[in-house]
Structures are given as structure tokens and as C-alpha cells.
Structure 1
Amino acid sequence: MTATQRRSSEPNSAAVPARKQATALLLAGSLLVLAGCSDSNGDSDASSKPSTKPSDVSPSPSSTVGAEDAAVLAAYTRSWDAQTQAYSKASSAGTDLKKTTTLRALFDIEHDLTVMRSDGQVTTGKPVINPNVVKVTKAKIPKATLTDCVDTTHWILIDKASKKPVPLPTTRLIKYVSTATLEKWGKTWMVTKLTAQEQAC
């Protein structure tokens, strides 16, 4: 899924793909469940409530979305697809991560993958994303920012050997706000920063 996010000190939470803002992972980035974060409404039962089954994350831009915005959304979605694939095997090998994500974001993702391999953990299922472009800035290197609501209900961290879910803090956010920054390198938009916010959505 560049963001500087702090990791929780609770057991196994360091391997969770999505980290809190202000650490030294999407996920530059880092991604998935915000371990250690509490829901804004304090409802600890929220994670046990059923939600709709996630579908492949590929936002289909409406006719009101400009071509540049659509390109930004497509690049962001490709990055998430690559991250999801990488986390499912705790390795970026054979994925398109380097084609979609760069700088700090990629460094943090690779750090997560290293921790997961060390702990014998992978993810199963997929996150659901709902990104919206906030701003596209024209410059020598065009930049774009967007906000997202990431739903990790069906994106589960499991023990690779036993296939059983890894116990995680009950106070973590299952659905959280995330922001991203992208830059246009030539004709290609690249995700340069991912920041999971301590805010439910």
C-alpha cells in the first residue's frame, strides 16, 4: 500500500502493514491496520461487525474526473495492488512495486516485508480503498495529493505455517484515513509518500 509512522510496542504489531504516522512503513509508507490506534468513537466492537465483501480496488473515474486525476487514481491503485501482492508473500519479488512506488514509501514497505519474513507472517485477503484526488500541482515535476479511506476488514495478517490469524491489538483501527503524495516522472505517476492517519473513516 514514505509515510513516517510510529509502530506500536504491542506484540506482533511491528509486522502490521499499516503504521501510525510519525515512525521512522502503507506502509514512506505503510499501509494496513493501524496497530495501537483506537477508534475515534471508542467502539472496540467495530472490528467484529460484518462488512461488505471487498472487491478489487480499481476506482472507475466518472465523466466528471479529469484525465490527470484519473491517471493519479490509476497509479495509486496500481501501487496498492502491488503492495497487497507483496504482503501476501512477504516479498516484493515478482511485483510491480518498483514501477509504482518510490523513495521513502518503498523503503518502508521493504522494511515491513523484512519483519514479516523474520516472523514467518504473510497477509491474506485484500484491503478496500476509496481514494479521492485532492490536488494536482503543475510544475517541472508535477505533484498530486489524495486522501483515502482504507478498510482492512478482510486483509488479515496470518502465520505462514499455521495459516492462523496473528493476534493484534483490539484497539487498532480497522478503517482509517490515509493520505498519499505522488509525483509524475516523465509520463508515469509514482507514489512517493503514504501516511496512515490516526483517524477512523
Structure 2
Amino acid sequence: MTAMNRRSKGRRTAAVHTRKYATALLITSSLVAMAGCSSGDSDTSSKPSSSPSAASPSATSTAGSEDAAVLAAYTSSWHAQTEAYSKASSAGTDLKKNTTLRALFDIEHDLEVMRKDGQVTTGKPVISPKVLKVTAAKIPTATVTDCIDTTHWILTDKATKKPVPLPTTRLIKYVSTASLEKWGKTWMVTKLTAQEQAC
């Protein structure tokens, strides 16, 4: 479920007749419960989580580097999502750079609804990602937990430039998880899941 879908779900729960406000801003993402919310003004200030103690300094260094690469891919995907939602289109963004087609499906659906309703977003979400785990395998995987703060990420009517009214019961800050896979040397976001949990 994407950031936009997360807020949409809250809207449907609060008032089904507000379907036209389908993208009541994030996650997505998506966008888990262990993440704490940041009050920082930048979504790029997150530091990689420290890796567990390892048998050798080189192993620790490798684990730290992998965590940093995972966070960089996740953050890049979020920057691209934010840009896409700001114009209700993924055209000209870097969404495909770190986001798989499977994860893009929900995002593209959100964007289609936004275009139909004449809506875009203004401002930016604040993210606070942490790497929960990285698993070595033929295709390495990683899980990221996040607290998405949408306080200053506003769904706006494109024509009037006014905020779209949204239910007051929706979660403004919520827990999100992301799954990633390493394709060659590149980490890709494969799934974004917003949780019904405040952070």
C-alpha cells in the first residue's frame, strides 16, 4: 500500500463518500513499528542503523556499507515519489531507478486518481528510515521500517491551489515498512506497506 493509499484507506474508513479525495497522502509507505518519528526538516538526514557486532572489522564495515546502500535506495525512491505526487505524474522522475514495477503499480494508480480529480501535493513528507535486516541470499533482501510524517505534505486542488479537505481522523504520522531486493549492484524497493499504526 502506498503512502497515498494509506491516507486513502483512512478516508474510506472515516467517510466513504469522500472517494474523490482518493489520495489522502501518505505511505505509502508503506510506506514498521520500531521506527521513531523524526522532527527533522530533511528526509535525507537519517543515519544507517548500526550493524550487530561482527567477527571482524571488515565484516562490520561491509554490513554498514550495505545498510547505507539500502537506505540510499529507499530515500531515492521516496524523493522520486514525492516529485511524482507533486505533479500527479511519474514522467521525468527517477521512480524506476530504485522502485520495481510491482511497487510502482499502486503509485501509478494514485497518480491516475489524482490527475482525474485535479489534485497534486505540495510540501514534502518527513521520513525516518531504519534498516531492520539485510539477508544474504542469491538475491539479497532487506527490510526497512519508517515513520512517515505527512504534516507538511498537503493534498492540494491544482486549480484553486487550496488544500483538499481530509478527515481529521486520518493518521498524520504512521508506521510503514518497505521490502527491497538487490538486483546486481542496485537495491530496489519491491513493496511499500503502510501500517494502521501511529508513530
Shared fold (TM-score, shorter chain, > 0.5):
yes
- The residue correspondences of 1:155-194 to structure 2 (distance < 5 A) are 155-194=153-192
The offset of 1:10, in angstroms, is 4.5
2:49–2:131 Cα contact (<8 Å) kept: no
Match of 1:23 in 2: none
More helix by share: 2
- The residue correspondences of 1:101-120 to structure 2 (distance < 5 A) are 101-120=99-118
Question: Mean Cα displacement is larger for which, 190-199 or 61-70?
Answer: 61-70
After TM superposition, the score normalised by the length of structure 2 is 0.79
1:127–1:150 Cα contact (<8 Å) kept: yes
Matched, 1:197 2:183: no
- Provide the identity percentage: 73
Identify which of 67, 70, 75 aligns with 1:69.
67
2:122–2:154 Cα contact (<8 Å) kept: yes
Instruction: Answer with 1 or 2: which has the greater Rg.
Output: 2
Match of 1:14 in 2: 22
Residue segments in structure 1 that go unaligned for 5+ positions in a row: 19-25, 32-50
Could you say what secondary structure the match of 1:15 adopts? coil
2:30–2:176 Cα contact (<8 Å) kept: no
Q: Distance in 2 between the 1:153 and 1:97 partners?
A: 23
After TM superposition, the score normalised by the length of structure 1 is 0.78
- The letter of the residue matching 1:177 is V
1:30–1:105 Cα contact (<8 Å) kept: no
Q: Distance in 1 between the 2:187 and 2:171 partners?
A: 29
Identify which of 15, 40, 45 aligns with 1:59.
45
Could you say what secondary structure the match of 1:108 adopts? helix
Could you say what secondary structure the match of 1:91 adopts? coil
Provide the alpha-carbon RMSD of the alignment: 2.2
The offset of 1:119, in angstroms, is 0.2
- Cα offsets for 1:62-112 (capped at 9, x unmatched): 694500001001110000000000000000001000111113210000000
Q: Distance in 2 between the 1:63 and 1:126 partners?
A: 23
- The letter of the residue matching 2:130 is N
Matched, 1:88 2:86: yes
